[in-house]
Amino acid sequence: MVLHVTRAASPQFVQPFFFRLIKVREDWITYHGWIWLHGYQLDARGEAVAQRSIFVQPAGLIVRATPLPAARPARRPRQPRPVAQARQGKKSIDRQV
């Protein structure tokens, strides 16, 4: 489950971020209306950048309906080497030998 954590969940989160929930820490003692969550902070591409435990109010969390897409790095197209340069390089090696 991916959550959007904002200042509504806790005043400490001035900068909102996405959080992949692994476990609700029910064994940790909290104040009424607060919970400990364990999981991973995600970057804009949906990749985990830090493992964390956060203390939040569940009412302030936004459950993301669809998970963030795991972005793949953009591939640059291979630029073919001109045939003339490839042949010249081979000839120069042959001439040196």
Of the listed ranges 18-27, 45-54, 85-94, the one predicted with least confidence: 85-94
pTM of the complete model? 0.64
| Distance separating alpha carbons of residues 18 and 2, to the nearest angstrom | 7
- Cβ-contact 42, 2 below 8 angstroms: yes
- Dihedral (CA of 78, 82, 86, 92) sign: negative
Predicted pLDDT at 64: 84
Of the listed ranges 9-23, 29-43, 68-82, the one predicted with least confidence: 68-82
Predicted pLDDT at 28: 84
In the chain, DSSP assigns E strands to 2-5, 17-24, 35-42, 48-56, 62-63
Looking at mean pLDDT, say which of 1-5, 65-69, 83-87 comes out highest. Answer: 1-5
Q: Position 49: which residue type?
A: V
